[in-house]
Every structure is written in C-alpha cells, then in structure tokens.
Amino acid sequence: MSITSIYNLLDEITADYTETTFVVNPQEITVIGGEKDVRINKGYGRSEERVILSDKSRFWLKLQWKVLSEADQNTIFDFFHDPKKGCGIGRSWYFTPPEQHLAAGHDLTCRFDCQLGSFLQNYKIYGIASLTLAILGKKSAV
C-alpha cells in the first residue's frame, strides 16, 4: 500500500470544540509540511545514534488570504480568541480543506499553531499573510 494522502496517516481524534467547523476557505495553502519525531545524536568519527521518539507523523498547513471580507475576518478572529473555540493555540476544532488539498473533503482536527496577525488593506478589506494550523488528526467517524 502506498501513502497518497495525509488523511491516511492520521488517527481519529475528537476536537475540543465540535459545535461548528472552521469554514473560511483559504485562497492559498502555501505550505503543507510534515515531519517525524526523530532525534539524531552525532558522535565522533561520523557515528550516529538515531532515536525514534514516535512513529507518527506531524503535519501542518499554512493558509493565506490576500483579500478577506470583514465577515470572514471576524470569523477567524472569533475562532482564535473565543475561549470555547480556539482559545488561541490552546484548543482544537474541525477544518475541511478545500478541493486542491490532499485531504480535501475530509474533516481534520486542527488547532492554531501561530499568533493571529491580519492587516487592513483598504476600507473593510482585510488580509492574512500566513496562518499556521497544526493537524492533530481526523474527525472520528462516530
């Protein structure tokens, strides 16, 4: 079996906040990153000790909006700052990536993995240069 999607590698995880899904689709997904939790200790004579701390993969997305309506800006602001929803980087929620993403059509359990920074381009037209989401897992089938 070959791995063709992030979704195939994720465990089912129930989000902290499940009442609504994060529904502001990004205009661009600038980075889809992944890593394994491995440490390499280098010694003398080119020797190495490799320590695999976990065989699970960690993934993240960097989302971008060049033009964002005031309503969508407020939705993102609310998801980030509401203590019941994102509570900054503290709580998880569901996000369904748009069609161009490898996990399109699937609900992912995510949390913010950055500070929120938006800019006002023009009267009531906003933008977000980069918003990083840590992908914690996929929504439970139950």
Distance CA 18, CA 16 (A): 6
pLDDT digits (tens, 9 = 90+) for 81-128: 999 999 999 999 998 877 655 556 678 899 999 988 877 777 778 888
Residue 2 inside a domain? The answer is no
Residue 80 inside a domain? The answer is yes
Residue ranges making up the domain that contains 111? 10-138
**Is the predicted pLDDT of residue 17 greater than 70, yes or no?**
yes
pLDDT digits (tens, 9 = 90+) for 33-51: 788 889 999 998 889 999 9
Q: What pLDDT sits at residue 125?
A: 83
Residue 82 inside a domain? The answer is yes
Residue 108 inside a domain? The answer is yes
Residue 57 inside a domain? The answer is yes
Residue 63 inside a domain? The answer is yes
Q: How many CB atoms lie within 10 A of CB 132?
A: 18
Q: What pLDDT sits at residue 86?
A: 94
- Torsion on CA atoms 64, 66, 69, 73, rounded to nearest 10: 40
Residue 3 inside a domain? The answer is no
Rounded to two decimals, the pTM is 0.80
- If one counts the domains in the chain, the total is 1
Residue 1 inside a domain? The answer is no
Burial of 38 per CB tally in 10 Å (0-12, 13-18, 19+): exposed
Q: What pLDDT sits at residue 5?
A: 72
Q: What pLDDT sits at residue 116?
A: 86
Distance CA 98, CA 115 (A): 23
Higher pLDDT, 110 or 1: 110
Torsion angles phi and psi, residue 140, rounded to 5: -60, 140
